Structures are given as structure tokens and as C-alpha cells.
Amino acid sequence: MSTTTTGPSRAYWTSFAIVVAALAASPLVLPEFWQRFATEILIWGLFAMSSDLLIGYTGMVSFGHSVFFGLGMYGSAAALLIVKPPNLWIAILVGVVAAAVVAMFVAFFSTRLRDIYFSITTLVFSQIFYVIIFTWTDVTGGENGLTFRQPPFGITGLYTIPFTQNGLHWFVLGTVTVSYLVLRRITQSPFGTVLQSIRENEPRTRAIGYHVERYKIVSVMLSGCFAGLAGVLYAIQNKFAAPDFVLFLVSGEAVIFNVMGGIGTLVGPVVGAAFYLLMKEVFSRVFYEYYLIPVGVIFTLMVIFVPQGLLGAWKRALNR
């Protein structure tokens, strides 16, 4: 993007500020159940945004994002169980680094392939890690997972306060907002532009002289970092790490969030996550544990009839 084009419009930043303010105020007005719900939407929204970097911008559909999420969970769990006293920042650091390392490992193999082959490879990798985590009971707790105590907020040794429900919400909101701005910056940077040109025309990008594989590996790694961060936040909110979150269904949910909200918009996947979680909540009151039947029907119909997703129409405005 050259310097002559105008940056994001005032309308964009105004609506951005309104949305963030509304989300910040939400725990003060919502009943208790929905407070928790709002926090979860933000966490899953971050997870969805991370996979949008791959799906929407680089054009690679990852069906293995649950691994990065799960590694974030288990990484932070390990840090919280080993480090005394439990330290929030170390947990975040360990979780994100664990996710990034695994993402790099997965990317090294899977980025050699394109399209469906990439999806299948990531799916297979996520299943490998699922089996390892599920069967390596001594370290990961196997089926039961790991439980730990919530770390306090603040700087250890100087000043710490335990998380309240609202405090956690604002902490998550802050993290997700910053992540959004960073991801947005990434997609608009020269690096992000190369990713989008890989999506549009890979052979040409290669012909121009870009090292496509290297760009892909870095994009998977960045995506993995943010997915790991989402995993850390989820672990801290729920005080456990469980193998269920490494299962391919979670990766599938990330893809569903993206398709429902609109790929290539960053905000869309968050909206998709909110939409999905709301549907899940509503349908599970009517259909109990079979809520995935109506959700699956709606998802399939959206793939056929609304492939650009809920926010697809505003794709241009959101990427300015």
C-alpha cells in the first residue's frame, strides 16, 4: 500500500472504538451467565482470527488448528504447574512458544502441499498430536487432562490481584484487541501483501522472486502463535487443559467460524464465532446434545448460498 492512499477511514475507527467500548461495558450490564459467554466469544474469536490469517489471506485452509490451540493450553498448564508461584506472563509465554514451535514443525511438512493436500496434512498432524497427548498419560494426564489454579494478575513480587470475572473479561478483551490490531497490521504490511499474492497467484509470486515456502511457513507460525494465545486464555479462564480441545472438531469449528463470519476480514471470524456459539446455546436448549444437526444444516446451507459469510459484503471496508 503506497503512502498516497488514505488509511482507514474515520468511520472505521469510530465503529472500532464503539465496538470495543461496548464489549468492555458488556460485563457490567449482562447477567452472570452471559458475562462468561462474552469472554468465551472473545477467546474463540481470537482463535478464529488466527486461522483467518491462513484461510482468508494466504489461501490455505488449515484443518489442524486445534493442535496450536491445544499446545497453548498444555504449555500454559505446564508452566502454571511447574513454576512456583504461578506466573501469568510465564504461562502465556510458554503457551505461545509451544504453539509456535509445533506450528513450525507442522508447517515445515505441510506447506510443501497446496489446497486440499495442505488441509489433509494439517488434519493428520493434529490427529498425531491428539493421539500423543491422549496416550501419554504420565505427562499430559491423558483423558483427564490437567487442572491447575488460576494465576493472579499483575507483576509477581510487586503487586498481584486475583482475577475477578470482570477483570478476566477485560484482560481477554485487551489481549484480543491488541492481537486484532497486530494481525491487521500484519495483513497490511508488505509481508501480508505477499501472503495475499500467494493466495491469488502462487506461481506468479514465485516467478517474481519471493520465496513462497518461507512465507507460508512464517504465516502458519504466526497463525499458530495467535491460536496458541487463544488456547492460553481459554486455559486460564477454565483452569484446565483437556485433550478434547486438540481433537479435529475444534479445528473444524475454527473453519466454521471463518466461513460463517466471512473469510479475509479478521472481524468476520469473530462475528462467526459469536454467531456459532449463540446458535449452539440456543439449539442445545431445544435439541440438547444433538445441537450439531441444525448447526451442520445451517453451516452447509451457508457454504452453498452465502459463501462470503455474514461480513463478506464489507470485506473491502474492513481491510482498508
Sequence-ordered list of residues with C-beta below 8 angstroms from that of 104, at least 6 positions apart, any chain = 217, 220, 221, 224
Interface segment toward other proteins; rule CB under 8 A; list 71-79, 82-90, 120-128, 149-157: 120-128
Q: Please tell me whether residue 206 binds other proteins under the rule CB under 8 A.
A: no
Set of cell numbers at residue 107: 508447517
Sequence-ordered list of residues with C-beta below 8 angstroms from that of 234, at least 6 positions apart, any chain = 40, 43, 69, 72, 73, 245
Question: At closest approach, how far in Å is the CB of 177 from other proteins?
Answer: 29
Contact 33, 61 (CB under 8 A): no
**Closest among 175, 224, 192 to 20, alpha carbons compared:** 175
Sequence-ordered list of residues with C-beta below 8 angstroms from that of 309, at least 6 positions apart, any chain = 258, 259, 260, 261, 262, 263, 265, 268, 272, 302
Query: Footprint of other proteins on residues 255-314 (CB under 8 A)?
Result: 255, 259, 289-290, 292-293, 295-297, 299-300, 303-304, 307
Question: At closest approach, how far in Å is the CB of 76 from other proteins?
Answer: 25
* Residue closer to other proteins, measured from CB, 153 or 248: 248
Query: Footprint of other proteins on residues 133-172 (CB under 8 A)?
Result: 134-135
Burial of 95 (0-12, 13-18, 19+ CB in 10 A): buried
Out of 17, 18, 115, 174, the only residue in the binding site for other proteins (CB under 8 A) is 115
Out of 26, 58, 121, 219, the only residue in the binding site for other proteins (CB under 8 A) is 121
Question: At closest approach, how far in Å is the CB of 300 from other proteins?
Answer: 3
Out of 128, 178, 207, 278, the only residue in the binding site for other proteins (CB under 8 A) is 128
Q: SS3 letters for 201-214?
A: CHHHHHHHCCCHHH
Question: At closest approach, how far in Å is the CB of 289 from other proteins?
Answer: 8
- What mask, x for binding other proteins by CB under 8 A, covers residues 32 to 71? -----------------------------x-x--------
* Residue closer to other proteins, measured from CB, 235 or 256: 256
**DSSP assignment of 141-203:** -GGG-EE-PPPPEEETTTEEEPPPHHHHHHHHHHHHHHHHHHHHHHHHSHHHHHHHHHHH-HH
**Closest among 24, 36, 48, 51 to 273, alpha carbons compared:** 48
3-class DSSP state for residue 67? helix
Contact 45, 269 (CB under 8 A): yes
Query: Footprint of other proteins on residues 67-106 (CB under 8 A)?
Result: none
* Residue closer to other proteins, measured from CB, 57 or 63: 63
Determine the size of the site formed for other proteins (CB under 8 A): 36
Question: At closest approach, how far in Å is the CB of 27 from other proteins?
Answer: 32
Contact 149, 163 (CB under 8 A): no
* Residue closer to other proteins, measured from CB, 79 or 311: 311
Question: At closest approach, how far in Å is the CB of 296 from other proteins?
Answer: 4
Question: At closest approach, how far in Å is the CB of 9 from other proteins?
Answer: 31
Q: Which residues bind other proteins (CB under 8 A)?
A: 61, 63, 109, 112-113, 115-117, 119-121, 123-125, 127-128, 131-132, 134-135, 248, 252, 255, 259, 289-290, 292-293, 295-297, 299-300, 303-304, 307
